[in-house]
């Protein structure tokens, strides 16, 4: 018998370490459906039982989903469906051209003045639209690779380092602290940027020790959260984000426009308002990176432009994100509007 969500995710768990919270995950689609009272839903037959990109969802994230609702916007982001098996010519396994931008394994140079490190292949959650789900990660921690530091040091044009993945906050505090300290010894480096879903999906990760690990140097720190829907925010998430804000860390958000998740003006407006209430500025709204298996999330550009126009009519300009797409080989995000 499968326990209720509230039994599995008891408030006492928030007192444990983030690593313990990270182990509280669901990996079985049938167990997920059972927890959400969806086992006998007519659409349950659409579930992909053994996806190549494995199911992984923290219990705290599942607790924010609405039981009995197959169209819950959080569930839709993580639910493996049989449609993922369909092949489409316009979709690929490397939609943003990561391979061509590699200086060496785990180190990418796509943009002028910035280098991007794939800090880890691991994530707290597996989102079905992930554009790196097919990436051939090297099984080592690149933050302890002296060659990467040497390449960065040798390029005087690089002023910002971006940590991505996977999710860089899956690494331990010591690894992040040591890397930040090394980076701070390179004279031309001014900023460190982290792209992470962790404050949203596993807020327990945002500890005082983590913040100290990242802010103990002169480098400006920018954290890009990846929230797609206002329902992803609860009190734990708000508390984690407040800790980052109190540490004077710049917080920006990049969302992906996803069919069935946030493809209506009400959802996008509510998301922008919620982000701002949590000290985050809406930055980018991405058209879907066309990764193989994610075609059911795709939204036509015309519809995306109409949605941004609706946001402009209902929000102050600073709460309207830039609508962008990433094109492989282009040295910047292409702004649509």
Torsion-angle region of 115 (φ positive above 0: left; ψ -120 to 50: alpha; else: beta): beta
Q: How far is CA 327 from CA 97, 104, 183, 291, 334, in A?
A: 8, 21, 29, 12, 7
Nearest of 87, 23, 21, 76 to residue 52 by alpha carbon: 87
| pLDDT on residue 139 | 84
Q: If you compute the radius of gyration of the chain from its CA atoms, what whole number of angstroms results? A: 20
- Rounded Cα distance between 283 and 288, Å, is 16
Q: Which element (helix H / strand E) includes 305?
A: helix 301-314
- Rounded Cα distance between 138 and 123, Å, is 15
Nearest of 331, 253, 259 to residue 288 by alpha carbon: 259
| pLDDT on residue 12 | 45
> What are φ and ψ of residue 309, in 5° steps?
-60, -40
- Rounded Cα distance between 116 and 132, Å, is 14
Q: Which residues of the chain have pLDDT under 70?
A: 1-16
| pLDDT on residue 316 | 98
| pLDDT on residue 331 | 86
Q: How crowded is residue 200: how many other Cβ atoms within 10 Å of its Cβ?
A: 25
| pLDDT on residue 287 | 98
Q: Per residue in 120-176, pLDDT tens?
A: 999 999 999 999 999 999 888 999 999 999 999 999 999 999 999 999 999 999 999
Torsion-angle region of 97 (φ positive above 0: left; ψ -120 to 50: alpha; else: beta): left
Dihedral Cα 248, 272, 317, 114, nearest 10 deg = 50
Domain ranges in the chain are 5-85, 99-335
Task: Name the class of domain 99-335.
Answer: alpha beta
């Amino acid at each position: 018998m499968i326990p209720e969500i509230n039994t599995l995710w008891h408030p006492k768990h928030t007192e444990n370490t983030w690593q313990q919270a990270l182990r509280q995950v669901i990996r079985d689609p049938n167990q997920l459906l059972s927890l959400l009272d969806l086992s006998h839903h007519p659409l349950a037959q659409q579930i992909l039982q053994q996806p190549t990109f494995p199911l992984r969802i923290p219990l705290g994230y599942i607790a924010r989903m609405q039981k009995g609702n197959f169209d819950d916007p959080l569930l839709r982001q993580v639910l493996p469906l049989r449609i993922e098996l369909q092949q489409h010519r316009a979709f690929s396994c490397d939609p943003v051209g990561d391979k061509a931008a590699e200086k060496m394994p785990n180190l990418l140079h796509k943009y002028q003045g910035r280098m991007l490190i794939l800090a880890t292949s691991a994530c707290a959650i597996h989102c079905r639209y992930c554009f790196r789900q097919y990436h051939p990660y090297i099984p080592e921690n690149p933050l302890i690779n002296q060659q990467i530091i040497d390449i960065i040091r040798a390029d005087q044009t690089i002023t910002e380092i971006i940590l991505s993945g996977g999710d860089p906050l899956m690494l331990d505090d010591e690894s992040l602290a040591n890397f930040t300290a090394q980076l701070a010894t390179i004279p031309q480096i001014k900023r460190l940027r982290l792209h992470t879903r962790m404050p949203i999906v596993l807020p327990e990760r945002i500890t005082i020790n983590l913040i100290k690990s990242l802010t103990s140097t002169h480098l400006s720190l920018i954290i890009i959260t990846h929230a797609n829907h206002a329902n992803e925010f609860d009190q734990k998430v708000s508390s984690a984000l407040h800790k980052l804000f109190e540490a004077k860390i710049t917080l920006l958000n990049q969302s992906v426009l996803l069919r069935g998740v946030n493809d209506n003006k009400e959802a996008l407006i509510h998301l922008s308002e919620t982000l701002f209430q949590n000290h985050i500025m809406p930055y980018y709204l991405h058209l879907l990176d066309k990764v193989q298996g994610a075609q059911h999330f795709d939204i036509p550009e015309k519809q995306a432009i109409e949605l941004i126009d609706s946001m402009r009519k209902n929000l102050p300009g600073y709460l309207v994100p830039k609508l962008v797409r990433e094109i492989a080989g282009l040295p910047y995000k292409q702004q649509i509007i």
